[in-house]
Amino acid sequence: MDPIPGPTPVHSTGAGAADTGKRFTPVIAPIPFYNPMLEYGVVVAALALGRIGNDTATPPSTSGLMGLATTNGTWGVGAIHFGNYAGDRWRSQLVGGYFDFVYDYFGTGQDQGDDPMHVTLEQPVWIARAIILKRVLPGLFLGGGYTIADAQVKLKEIPDSLPPFITTALEEGIRYTVASLGPTLGVDTRDDQYFPTAGVFVNASTDFYDPAFGSDSTFQNTMIFASWYTGWDGGAQVIAAGAQGCLSTGEVPISSLCMIGGPNGLRGVETGRYRDRSQLAFQGEYRRMFGRFGATAFLGVAQVAPAIDEYAWGEWFVAGGAGVRFKLSQKFPLNYRVDLSTGPDGFQYYISLGENF
């Protein structure tokens, strides 16, 4: 998992973008969103979308600044650069900023998450992350990344009685630095990065957090996400399938535990409510576009456990639902989405930019 929890990253947007012949399309737009973890919010983005260089085999890149504010008190500012270079032989992902996250914490373990008792945590954090990938075979990328974050975790409000999973250290507030170095593997044969209608995508990484890299604690996070797409009817109809896995070992901070939900995660389960040292999720989705409008139906399962060998067939959460889409730009097939899903936590809805996976 990433060293901090947060909303689905905004990789790019065509909101307000003019379809011109310019190499880069400027975008300055507010992007409203909603998810059960952060509630209602808005990202204000000033971005540039376009191809770097003259090679038409190079996918578009996204660079810019953004600010975030939500109704639960979360806010932040950051900069991003998702770059593709030299005919897609090189890729980079650069992210940095300051964020003050507010979220509910239910403790560790799937059974603990079933208990409604929780506390509200505040987590201000400075973070920087850089990943560089090189294409070594058609569709196969290898590289590595470095992450450093300076964070605090403290109680937003101190209730009259604290749940038993709140330690004295957490009650008083914890400040720590995490820093990691590790390899990344990517497979990308998608026909489009915004709305794929064919191909596969795999992102697998292991981050080694160690004092040698500037970290206060020693632990490891391994995460893999894989998706597959097939379309017909000129790309107007698509079947998409996704699988996600996470494993954390060592002295893992609360914010680095594996959790259900989040980027590419299961819709219909409250994001971050269920955390543990491992997590698995599987999803399927049918997508249908009618010009610039569209609709989807999706179904998935997920589970957290202390270790890979402790998953139980009867413990899977099942969640599914439907959504509507609107393509923001004729130039880039990027959708604004609204999804309604139901699962073990009742009805949940999501408003965001881009497909869930």
Show the 3-state SS of 251-320. Answer: CCCHHHCEECCCCCCCCCCCCCCCEECEEEEEEEEEEEEECCEEEEEEEEEEEEECCHHHCCHHHCEEEE
- Of residues 172 and 231, more confidently modeled: 231
Has residue 14 got a pLDDT over 50? no
Which domains does the chain carry?
Answer: 24-353 (2.40.160.50)
The closest alpha carbon to 257, from 282, 274, 281, 280, belongs to 274
Segment among 228-237, 243-252, 303-312, 327-336 with least mean pLDDT: 327-336
For the purposes of burial, counting CB atoms within 10 Å of the CB of 94, is it exposed (0-12), middle (13-18) or buried (19 or more)?
middle
The closest alpha carbon to 1, from 221, 262, 322, belongs to 221
- The pLDDT of residue 102: 95
- Tens digits of residue pLDDT in 215-256: 999 999 999 999 999 999 999 999 999 999 999 999 999 889
The listed range with the strongest mean pLDDT (37-51, 168-182, 295-309) is: 295-309
**Cβ pair 55, 65 in contact under 8 A:** no
Q: What proportions of the chain, in percent to the nearest 5, are helix, strand and coil?
A: 5, 60, 35
Segment among 17-21, 211-215, 239-243 with least mean pLDDT: 17-21
The closest alpha carbon to 344, from 303, 284, 296, 298, belongs to 303
Has residue 174 got a pLDDT over 80? yes
- The pair of structure tokens assigned to 43 is 């990202």
- Of residues 198 and 110, more confidently modeled: 198
Which residues lie below 8 Å from residue 53, measured CB to CB, with a gap of 6+? 85, 86, 87
What letter does residue 23 receive in the DSSP assignment? S
Q: Residue 22: pLDDT band by 50, 70, 90 thresholds?
A: low
pTM summary value:
0.85
If one counts every other C-beta atom within 10 angstroms of the C-beta of residue 252, the result is 22
Has residue 258 got a pLDDT over 80? yes
For the purposes of burial, counting CB atoms within 10 Å of the CB of 4, is it exposed (0-12), middle (13-18) or buried (19 or more)?
buried
Q: What is the mean pLDDT of residues 335-343?
A: 93
**Cβ pair 283, 296 in contact under 8 A:** no
Has residue 9 got a pLDDT over 50? no
Average pLDDT of every residue of the chain: 89
Cα–Cα distance measured from residue 285 to residue 266, given in angstroms and rounded to the nearest whole number:
11
